[in-house]
Amino acid sequence: TNPEVVAQVDTTGDANSVDVSGSFAYVADGYYGLQVVDVSNPQNPEIIANADTPDVAYDVVVVGTHALVADRRSGLQAVDVSDPQHPSLIGGANTPGEAWGLASADGFACIADYGSGLQVIDTSTPMSPDRIGQVDLPGYALSVAVSGTHAFVMADLYGLNVIDIANPSDPVLMGGIGTFHCPWAVAVAGNFAYVTDRFTGMHIIDISDAEHPIVVGSVEEIADETWGVAVKGSFAYATNAFGRL
């Protein structure tokens, strides 16, 4: 009920996204690639290494000993982080659009590829990831979450798209809901998707019927522009454009 910032560390670029694995945080740092931060002492985080990526690192997910990076015009980039002090770029797969967001599921990565919809990449061999499937979507794909056999993509100029990825090589658009002003991010927990709209706050969508998602609640009193969202337990956490949680 009374969250408190206990520490911070400045990165060289724009800290667009972060994932945590063990005692390390991995930051997608824009033009400065992947930054590795030692957070074993949360009150004194320290940048210990970085791995440059070819373009602009927008999103990152850590899977085992590898960090997968959505790297805008360079698609998916795979970084070996088995030794966090010496991360190494080991492979990549270009996408036809711009890789803005990603989510990982069972040896595959789903990429929100801006004007090229959802791209599915086989990451079972990180040194040679392979693009195996795609589906066009209304709007411009910005972020993606995966739950079970479905991917949920937020697209600018539209809203939430629901895609069946049971067959990763043949993803199928099942449904969606396009009632948002400026869609941005999505997180999924159980039968609900929590989505942000930069100008109208956070909205809760019932996705139990994937073909017919419906809005069941909204929180519009979030100050300033609403950007990121995460869900843990019975709480949803939203960030805004002015550095607040």
- pLDDT surpasses 70 at 223: no
Separation of alpha carbons 206 and 134, rounded Å: 25
**Which band of pLDDT confidence, cut at 50, 70 and 90, is reported for residue 241?**
low
Burial status of residue 244 (CB atoms within 10 A of its CB: 0-12, 13-18, 19 or more): exposed
- pLDDT surpasses 60 at 242: no
- pLDDT surpasses 70 at 226: no
102 versus 186: the higher-pLDDT residue is 102
Would you state the pLDDT for residue 240? 62
Give percent of the chain with pLDDT exceeding 90. 70
The CA-atom distances, in angstroms, between 97 and each of 100, 161, 225 are 9, 17, 26
Separation of alpha carbons 44 and 124, rounded Å: 35
The CA-atom distances, in angstroms, between 234 and each of 42, 92, 190, 213, 229 are 24, 37, 11, 21, 14
Would you state the pLDDT for residue 245? 44
- pLDDT surpasses 70 at 225: no
